[in-house]
Amino acid sequence: MQTAAWSELARLASWRRITVLCVLSLAMAASEGAGFMLLVPLAAYLAGSAALPGQLAWLAEWLTGLGFTLALFVALVALRAALDYAYRIRSLDLTVRIVDGLRLRAVEGLLNAEWSALSKMHQAENRALLITTIDRVSYAVTLLTGLLRLSLLCAALLLAALAIAPAVAAIMIAVAGLLALLYGVVRRRARHWGAETGRHYTALHASLEEMLGALRIVKSYGRERRSRDETAAVFGRLRDAERRYLEHTALARAAFQIAMAAALAALVFAASEYRLLAMSALLPLVAVAARSASQFGALLEHWQQWNHAAPALDQARAVIAEAEANAEPRMSAPAPIRLAQRLTFCGVHYGHRGGTPVLAGIDCSIGHGEIVALSGPSGAGKSTFADLAAGLLAPDAGTILIDGKLLGSEERQAWRRRVAYVQQEPVLFSGTVRGNLLWGSADAEESELVAALDRANATFVFDLPNGLDCDLGEASRHLSGGERQRIALARALLRTPDLLILDEATSALDDDSEIAIASAIGALRGDCAVLVISHRGRLSAAADRKFELAGGRLRQSTGHRHSLPPEPALTQQFSANSPLLP
Ligand SMILES: Nc1ncnc2c1ncn2[C@@H]1O[C@H](COP(=O)(O)OP(=O)(O)OP(=O)(O)O)[C@@H](O)[C@H]1O
């Protein structure tokens, strides 16, 4: 893992927490090592001899009797249990901080990124990041704290072994080093399968989302079996990657157990056959060796699992880095922007992903209080035009002006606060109707909510259970497309915007509702600029001017219904190439 990733983990966890965890791990390791060393005098007493190995003679002088030794032993176990409790709580706390910190950074990165970057991002990857990938990071961090604890514990056990029988302990250290080297091979495979698992989880998210979104069409086409098989195939690829990894882990584990059992057997055989050690040292040494073997095995397994889970951190960091690299400039208090005269496009070019321009030299303006309708073939760039007008996108070339003031990257953020957008597929949030309306305009009074619902022809809300306080969590699934659109329109109207954009916002409405909405839009004339994107005649009929977008160019399809005040500076500036300026 790169240094940057380590320092990021440390920053999220905080050095204070890491230090506390290190101290606790060290104390646990020391208490366990000391506990094992106490086995030496215990064994000597039990064997009926107070004779201790030379290097532990000081212990014999210090310990006065069996009772004291046993009491000390129990005290050490109690201390270790208390430390273990504190360690688990601290370890969880550290993991949660890292994981929540990373998840919040990802959320912030996505919320602060430019819309142009967000609209290009693979949303399944973002969802996989926020759910599965960061959960895998959580597992990786738990393994990392476990690695720290187990490393210190193994070191303490080996120190205890060194104190009991230095020569034998040196052989144990050599065997452990050799096994760790061999595990290096398994480590690389674990990394590989970890990265594969991450990719398959992302694919699984995309596949499940697609399947859930397509339930209606799947059922109406009778394609349940096919959908099931496709989903099963994605599951299969994920399980295959997990199985291959598990095969490696299980194989390495079996090899390790055999190697350690052979080493222990050799130790006992050599010690008893060639009388290398006194019984008082042999028994504690075997106990330390057995405990070391199991803990060292756990250490190597943790290491392998960490290598499998660690690619999730790289994956998460890559998505977060992409979002952060596309961050909008930060503004502490953006200067408010109001539209008092007109929003103007001057020679605007735009191509998605820097590809073929969707808009190629657009010159037009929308006056304050004017209603403009935009039509054109599918894919002509109408929504792209709306995104530019709303300050979501910046032109590749040309300029957008609000009352003659350039809409730069900082101004765009302030301008968006004055825009309300209703799209074809309206977004309603979980919660009540009231919550959804207040989401757009937090200070609105009850009477304003009612008036907005009335203007949006959404009075059906009053007949819902609990009316404005109806919880849409469940109900929104049962609302029709038209009902959802009308609530979204009421939310937009409440915002009293300077520019209201309706992007096919009445596509799901019946004729009567559309007539009512058209008259509500007509009533906005003079209050705010309205951009209506619609293929349907009724809404367009309410417009002062109608534009048609085709082949990247804008054409005014009919004359003015209402004349707007001229804009001398801009008319002069663009008179040669801007026939659409009023
Ligand atoms: N985020 C994006 N990345 C790449 N291409 C995009 C993106 N959004 C839109 N496009 C492409 O840009 C072109 C214009 O799309 P846009 O949605 O603006 O058209 P539209 O006129 O609103 O279409 P419709 O009436 O079908 O909604 C299309 O070819 C579309 O595929």
Pocket test for ligand 1, best of 384, 423, 504, 535 (most atoms within 8 A of CB): 384
Q: Whose CA is nearest to atom 17 of ligand 1?
A: 383
- For residue 5, the CA-to-ligand 1 centroid distance in Å is 37
Residue 579 domain-assigned (yes or no) = no
The reply to whether 377 and 313 lie within a common domain is no
Q: pLDDT: is 275 or 21 the higher one? A: 21
Judgement on whether residues 475 and 360 belong to the same structural domain of the protein: yes
- Give yes or no: residues 530 and 433 share one domain: yes
In a domain, 581, yes or no: no
pLDDT in tens, 452-470: 998 888 888 888 888 888 8
C-alpha dist (Å) from residue 458 to 147, 480, 520, 533: 59, 12, 12, 21
> pLDDT tens across 317-354, in order?
888 998 899 998 877 777 788 999 999 999 999 998 76
C-alpha pair distances (Å), 548 with each of 93, 380, 396: 59, 9, 21
pLDDT at 109: 92
Indicate whether 42 and 182 sit together in one domain: yes
Residues 365 and 249 in one domain: no
Residue percentage of the chain with pLDDT more than 90:
25
324 or 563, greater pLDDT: 324
353 or 366: which carries more pLDDT confidence? 366
Question: Would residue 333 count as lying in a domain?
Answer: no
One-letter amino acid identity for 339? L
pLDDT of residue 52: 53
Inform me whether the pLDDT recorded for 531 exceeds 90. Answer: yes
Q: Which pLDDT score, from 0 to 100, does residue 568 have?
A: 40
Whether residue 334 is contained in a domain is answered as no
State in Å: Cα 412 to ligand 1 middle: 21
Hey, what long-range contacts does 536-539 have (CB within 8 A, 24 or more apart)?
536/506, 536/507, 538/511, 538/514, 539/373, 539/502, 539/506, 539/514
CA 150, 152, 158: angle at the middle one, nearest 5? 100
Place of tokens 């909008």: 328
Q: At 37, which amino acid appears?
A: M
Which ligand 1 atom sits nearest the alpha carbon of residue 387?
Answer: 18
Distance in Å, CA 344 to ligand 1 centroid: 22
For the domain that residue 280 is a member of, what is the CATH number? Answer: 1.20.1560.10
Mutate to test the pocket of ligand 1, among 116, 123, 359, 382 (most ligand atoms within 8 A of CB): 382
Q: Distance, CA 378 to ligand 1 centroid (Å)?
A: 8
Distance between Cα 381 and ligand 1 center (Å): 6
Q: How far apart are CA 365 and CA 344, in angstroms?
A: 4
Average pLDDT (80-105) is 90
**Which positions ≥6 away from 525 have C-beta within 8 Å?**
369, 370, 371, 544, 562
My answer on whether 488 and 450 are in the same domain is yes
- Asked if residue 392 and residue 247 are part of one domain, the reply reads no
- Number of helices (H) and strands (E), helices first, in the chain? 21, 10
Task: Please report the pLDDT score of residue 581 as a whole number.
Answer: 42
pLDDT band, very low/low/confident/very high, at 499 (cuts 50, 70, 90)? very high
Residue 348 CA to ligand 1 centre (angstroms): 16
Strands 499-503 and 529-533: parallel
In a domain, 580, yes or no: no
Query: What residue ranges line ligand 1, CB within 6 angstroms?
Result: 119-120, 352-353, 358, 376, 378-384
Nearest CA, atom 7, ligand 1: 352
- Whether 126 maps to a domain, the answer reads yes
Test site for ligand 1: of 118, 353, 358, most ligand atoms within 8 A of the Cβ: 358
User: What CATH code is carried by the domain that includes residue 359?
Assistant: 3.40.50.300
Which of 383, 536, 547, 549 most suits a substitution to test ligand 1, by most atoms within 8 Å of the C-beta?
Answer: 383
Q: Given this model, what pLDDT does residue 2 score?
A: 66
What is the structure's pLDDT at 428? 85
| Co-location of 316 and 390 in the same domain | no
pLDDT value at residue 573:
41
| Phi, psi angle pair for 342, to nearest 5° | -155, 155
Residue 381 Cα: closest atom of ligand 1: 18
Q: Which atom of ligand 1 is nearest to the CA of 385?
A: 18
Per-residue pLDDT band for 582 (boundaries 50, 70, 90) equals very low
Cα torsion 500, 109, 313, 143 to 10°: value is -100
Same domain, 359 and 247: no
ipTM over 0.90: yes
Together in a domain, 442 and 488? yes
Q: Kindly give the distance from the C-alpha atom of residue 146 to the centroid of ligand 1, in angstroms, as a whole number.
A: 50
Domain that holds residue 188: 3-325
Ligand 1 pocket test, candidate residues 123, 352, 536, most atoms within 8 A of CB: 352
Mean per-residue pLDDT, 241-265: 83
Average model confidence (pLDDT) across the chain: 83
Query: In angstroms, what is the span from residue 551 Cα to ligand 1's centroid?
Result: 13
pLDDT at 563 over 50: no
Residue nearest to atom 3 of ligand 1 (CA): 352
In a domain, 167, yes or no: yes
Residue having the nearest C-alpha atom to atom 31 of ligand 1? 379
> Is the pLDDT assigned to residue 569 strictly greater than 50?
no
The predicted-structure confidence for 392-431, as pLDDT tens digits, reads as follows 999 999 999 999 999 988 889 889 989 999 888 888 888 8
Using the 3D structure, point to which of 325, 356, 385 is the last residue of a domain.
325
Which pLDDT belongs to residue 259?
A: 82
Same domain, 350 and 287: no
Q: Is 208 exposed, middle or buried (0-12, 13-18, 19+ CB in 10 A)?
A: middle
In a domain, 61, yes or no: yes
Mean pLDDT along residues 551-556: 88
Please report the atom of ligand 1 found closest to the CA of residue 376: 21
The number of distinct structural domains making up the chain is 2
Higher pLDDT, 559 or 260: 260
pLDDT of 476 over the 70 cut: no
Is the per-residue pLDDT at 46 higher than 70? no
Q: Which is higher by pLDDT, 559 or 39?
A: 39
pLDDT at 382: 93
**pTM recorded for the entire structure:** 0.71
208-217, 408-417, 515-524: least confident range: 515-524
More confident residue, 555 or 563: 555
Same domain, 548 and 520: yes
Contact criterion met (CB below 8 Å) for 343 and 402: yes
CA 379 to centroid of ligand 1, rounded, Å: 5
Checking if the pLDDT of 23 tops 80, the result is yes
Instruction: Retrieve residue 23's tokens.
Output: 């101290």
